[in-house]
Amino acid sequence: MGFFGSKKEKRKDFPCGARIDTLINQEFCCANPECHKGFTKLLRPHFDHIDKVNTNNSPENCQALCPNCHNNKNLQENKVAAEKNRN
């Protein structure tokens, strides 16, 4: 059981190959074009599900974001979902 007794589907990690391919395709930089920070030992990538389906671990659904961009994306998605639920 999850938070407050809700059942939450367990998040699956992207396979190692998908993560490596994503980093290579993005030239080891954040996928957000407004950021595009390069990843280092100190700035590690967060792997994000583009379609928001956390069980869809296909390589095409994977993007690497810096922690700040990943957090901002999640906050924006949660805000949109909350607005939909209100209406």
Q: What is the length of the chain?
A: 87
Write out pLDDT tens, residues 65-79.
Answer: 999 999 999 999 999
User: What is the structure's pLDDT at 7?
Assistant: 56
Question: Which residues are registered as beta bridge partners of 29?
Answer: 38
Amino acid at 21: D
Give the model's pLDDT for residue 8.
57
pLDDT in tens, 20-72: 999 999 999 999 999 999 999 999 999 999 998 889 999 999 999 999 999 99
